[in-house]
Structure 1
Amino acid sequence: MTVPATTTTTTTSSSQQSKPGKLPGRELYNTIGKPKTIVAPMVDQSELAWRILSRKYGADLCYTPMFHARLFVTSDKYRQSMFNDQDGDPKYDRPLVVQFCANDPEILLQAAKLVENQCDAVDLNLGCPQGIAKKGKYGSFLMDDWGLVHSLIKKLHDNLSIPVTAKIRVYDDYDKSLQYAQMVLDAGAQFLTVHGRTREMKGQNTGLANWKILKHLRDKLPQDQVFFANGNILYSSDLQRCQDETNCDAVMSAEGNLYNPGVFCTKTDDIDMQFPRVDKILRQYFEIVKSVDPHPASRHSMKSHFFKLMHEFLNVRTELRPMIGKTSVHSSLDEWEKIVEEVERIVKEEIRTLPNFNDLDVVIDGELQIWGGLYKTVPYWRCQPYFRKVDGERQNTRLLKVAGENDLMVTSNEAKEKLLKRELEGEGEGDEGGSVKKKQAT
C-alpha cells in the first residue's frame, strides 16, 4: 500500500475514532488504571500462573503468550491448552491483552472473537523475529507487507467489540519506522508497543534497544496516542529512565521479567520485592501453579520458569541442575515439591546461617556505564538479570573465568567490573566497543 509522507501529527486519525460501545485508546488506558509496567507477550512464557506472580511484584498490565491464530481456531486441544475459562478472570487476571500472530484477516478475526469476552484488547504480533515466524509469514516478517498488516488490524478494528493493539519492531531508518507506525495506527491500533530493536537483532546479535528511535516516534506520533516502550530493562531503576528518555506511557519487559519478576517493583527500599530470594519466589510461583491446576499452559511452562528464576543460583548450586533436568513437565506436583523444598533447605541451612550473611545479603550499585545504565552486584540467591551468551559461551561463565575466582560467594556482577575495565583498556575479546557490544542488555 502507498503510505503518505510523514509529518508531525497532533490529532487522532479517523480510523481510530471510537466505535459505538468501544473505548478509544486513551480512554481504554485510563479505564484499566493507567498501567506503567507491562508483562510482554512471550511464547509459552507469559501464561496465567506467571501473570498472577508478576502482578504480585508490580506488573500493572499483562499480555498473554503469542497464540497462533489458525491453530487457535482449528484446534480445540491447542486452544484449551493455551487459554481456558481461568484466563482473564476479573478477580486475578485483568487487565489483560491477548496476542495473536496471523497472516489471514478472517482467521485472525475468528480467533479474536473466541477471546473478546475474556480480555480488554486483542494485540497483533508484528515483532517475532524467529525463523519459524519467517517460515510462517507472521510477526516481524510482515514488515515486508504493509498492506497485509493494515488489513489484519483493520479487520479487528471494524469487527471486534473491544480495541485492537499492535506490537512492532523498528527499521534502521527513522523515517521508515515512523511511516510504519503511522500506518499501523491508521489501520485502527489503539495501543502501540514499540520494541526498539530491528528484526535482525536477535540471539547473539540482540544488542541494545534504541531508545532514541522510540523517542523520535513518540514525538512525531499524535500526542494522545498510547505508546509503550520495550527493550533494555535490566532493573527496576531502568523503568523510570526509559520513561524519561522516551516519554512513553508505560514500559514493557520480556526477558527482564522472566528472570526477575521484581523488575517491576519500584519500592527502592524493599530488596525482597526488587530482588526476591529464590526460595521465596519459587515457593510463591509453585503455589500459584497448584492453585490454577489444571491449566495446561501453566504446567507446561513451569520447568522453564524454574530454570530462569534460579539461573544465577544454579550457576553456583550446580548440583540442583540434574534434579530439575530429570523432572518432566508431566511429573507429579509432588516431584516438583521436592525441588522447591531442597531450594528452601539450601537457603535456610547453608546460606542464611553464614556468619556474615547480613553483610552479604545486599545489592550494590556499580558505576554508570557508557550506555546510560549500570550493573548491580546481586547475591546469587536472589533473582537478577540474565546476560546473553557471547561468542557461543555463557556470559556468566566467561565473566567468572575473567575474574579468576572460585569462591562461591563471588557473583558474576563482580566479574563484570573486571571485564569492563579490561575491555575498555583494549584487553577484552572481540569487536571494538568492548563491553557495550559484548555485554548486551536484555
Structure 2
Amino acid sequence: MDLWKDVLNSPTKIVAPMVDASELPWRILSRRYGAQLCYTPMLHSNIFIKDPKYRKEALATCDEDKPLIVQFCGNDPQIILQAAKMCEDFCCAIDINLGCPQAIAKRGHYGAFLQDEWPLIENIVQTLSGQLKIPVTCKIRRFETIEKTVKYAKMLERAGCSMLTVHGRTRDMKGPMTGIADWTYVTAVRRAVSIPVISNGNIQCIQDVYRCLDETGAVGVMTAEGNLYNPAIFLGISPPVWEPAKEYLDLVEQYPCPLSYVRGHLFKLFHHLLSLPENNGIRIRLGEANSLQLFDQIVEELKIKYLPFHQGLEAWSCTTEEGTQNLILPPWLCQPYVRMNVEEHIKKVEENSQAEDSCDSHKRVYQDADGNPISRKKMKKLRRISRRPEKQAICEKSFFKCSNCVNPMGSKCNYQLCKKCCRDKCFLENMDCNGHRILVRTRRNMAKYYASTKSDQ
C-alpha cells in the first residue's frame, strides 16, 4: 500500500511533532481548523518502554485523532523497535526523529545529533521497517551541501523509509540564529528519491503553504510554530485569540493533559496581547495560574477587554507601522511570530559587545540615579522586580541577613533566622517554624541525632 495515498489519504496540511505541544487536545483543535495529518510529540523510546504512566499519556488518542503518526527518538535500534511495537496498533506509521537540534537531544545523543552516524541510522530504519507491520518514516534536517543531503536521503530510502520530511535548516540554525529555511534542499531531495517528501520550515500563513508546494513539488507541508501561534493557519484565517483558546480549554477538560502544556499554548496564542505593557499583570497571572478555571477566567477577561475593538464598537489606534502606510494585524488576532533576522541579531550582539568594551568594567555599564555604578547582576534583579512589582516586598526581604549570623534570612522564617540558626533555636527552646518546616517531628529526629553524636564521643 502507498502510505501517503492509501493510508494517510494524501494530506497536504500537516502539524509537526512538537515536544509538550502536540498533545491530543491540541491535535484535535488543529484538525478542526484544517490540519489533515498530525504527529504525537517526540517520545523518548527508552522512557516509553519503562514508564507505564508516560506511555499512557503519550498514547492518548480518540476516533477524531486520525490519521496519526507516532514519533520516537533514541539511538538503540532494539529499544526503539520495542517501543514502536507497543503502539503500532494505535497509529498509521512510526516516525524516527533525526532532526531535533536542541541541547537535550545533544545530551541524549539522538535527533539531529545522530546525522553523522549513518551506519547506526541505517540499522535503526532497517530494524523497524523489517519487523513492524506499519510503515516507518523519518524527519531530518539538511546538511550544509545539497549533495550530502541528497545522499543522506537516498540512504534512508534504501534502508526502508516510506516517507521523508525534510526541514530546510541545519541543526545549528536554532534560537536567535534560526534564519530562513532553504527550500532548494527539499526540491533536490524530492527529485532524487521515489518516496513521498514533506517540506518543513518557513510556513507562517496559508500563502506560504501554496508557495512551498509549488516551488518544492513536495506532497505536503508541515508547520510547527506557525500552528502554535495560529491554529487556523491552514484555513487562511486569523480568528480572535479567545476563540481557539476557549475551544482548546473545552478539549482539555474532555481529554486532560498537563497544565504546563495548557499554559504554554495560551502564552503563544496571547503572545502579541501579553507583549503590551497594559497586560503585564495578566501575563504574570497566566504564569502563576494552576487550574483550568483560572485559565478560563484569563481568556474571558481578555475577550471582554478586546471584543469591543474587534466588533468595531471602539477604535483601535495602532493600525499601521510607524512611519509607513502598511496595515498590521491588531494584537487580539491569531498571527505569526516574526523573529529578528540573523543579520540584525549579530549586529545587536556586536553593538552590545562594543558598548561593554568601551566601558572601564563590563560590570559597571549601568548607573543609579546618583550616578553610582550598578553591577549587571543587581540590574538583572531590579528588572525582575520591576516586571513583578507585587513581589517586590518578598524580594527585598530575601536580602536581609540572619539575626544571629551573616547568612541570608529565610523569607518565611518566623524568627528572621537562617535555616541553621532556626533549627538550633527550635531545638533548644522547643519551638516550631512553619517557614523552615521545623516541627515537633523534626526536633525529635534532631534529639536522636545529638544523642547519637554524644554516645560516639
Q: Shared topology, TM-score over 0.5?
A: yes
Larger RCO, structures 1/2 (Cα 8 Å, 6+ apart): 1
Q: Does residue 1:137 correspond to 2:109, yes or no?
A: yes
Paired-residue identity, %: 44
Question: Which residue in 2 is equivalent to 1:377?
Answer: 328
Counterpart mapping for 1:334-413 below 5 A? 334-349=293-308, 352=311, 354-356=313-315, 377-388=328-339
Question: Across the two proteins, how many residue pairs are aligned to each other?
Answer: 342
Question: Which residue in 2 is equivalent to 1:258?
Answer: 228
Pairwise CA distance, 1:32: 2.2
CA contact (8 A) 1:29 1:226 kept: no
Unaligned ranges ≥5, structure 1: 1-22, 267-273, 368-374, 395-442
Q: 2:65, 2:25 → 1: CA distance? A: 9
Question: Which residue in 1 is equivalent to 2:375?
Answer: none
- The one-letter code sitting in structure 1 at the alignment partner of 2:164 is L
Pairwise CA distance, 1:337: 1.9
CA contact (8 A) 1:49 1:288 kept: yes
Pairwise CA distance, 1:346: 1.2
- The one-letter code sitting in structure 2 at the alignment partner of 1:319 is G
Q: Does residue 1:279 correspond to 2:242, yes or no?
A: yes
Q: 2:102, 2:270 → 1: CA distance? A: 25
Partner residue of 1:73 out of 49, 53, 57: 49
Which secondary structure does the structure 2 equivalent of 1:318 belong to? helix
Q: 1:392, 1:131 → 2: CA distance? A: 23
Distance 1:189 1:311, change over 3 A: same
Q: Does residue 1:229 correspond to 2:229, yes or no?
A: no
Counterpart mapping for 1:88-107 below 5 A? 89-90=62-63, 92-107=64-79
- The one-letter code sitting in structure 2 at the alignment partner of 1:278 is V
Question: Which residue in 2 is equivalent to 1:400?
Answer: none
Counterpart mapping for 1:6-405 below 5 A? 23-25=1-3, 28-84=4-60, 87=61, 89-90=62-63, 92-222=64-194, 225-266=195-236, 274-293=237-256, 295-296=257-258, 299-316=259-276, 317-327=279-289, 331-349=290-308, 352=311, 354-356=313-315, 377-388=328-339
Pairwise CA distance, 1:360: 8.6
Q: 2:342, 2:189 → 1: CA distance? A: 33
- The one-letter code sitting in structure 2 at the alignment partner of 1:75 is D
RMSD: 2.6
Unaligned ranges ≥5, structure 2: 346-457
Q: 1:376, 1:97 → 2: CA distance? A: 39
Pairwise CA distance, 1:319: 3.3
Q: 1:318, 1:350 → 2: CA distance? A: 19
Pairwise CA distance, 1:318: 3.1
Q: 1:280, 1:112 → 2: CA distance? A: 36
Distance 1:170 1:392, change over 3 A: closer
Deviates more, 1:307-316 or 1:72-81: 72-81
Pairwise CA distance, 1:94: 0.4
Q: 1:233, 1:69 → 2: CA distance? A: 29
Structure ID, larger Rg = 2
Distance 1:195 1:391, change over 3 A: closer
TM-score in terms of structure 1 length? 0.73
- The one-letter code sitting in structure 2 at the alignment partner of 1:337 is D
Q: 2:146, 2:161 → 1: CA distance? A: 20
Pairwise CA distance, 1:108: 0.2
Q: In the TM superposition, what whole-angstrom CA distance separates every residue of 1:211-267 from its partner, at most 9, and x where no partner exists?
A: 111111111222xx211000001111100000011000000001111111121114x
CA contact (8 A) 1:24 1:163 kept: no
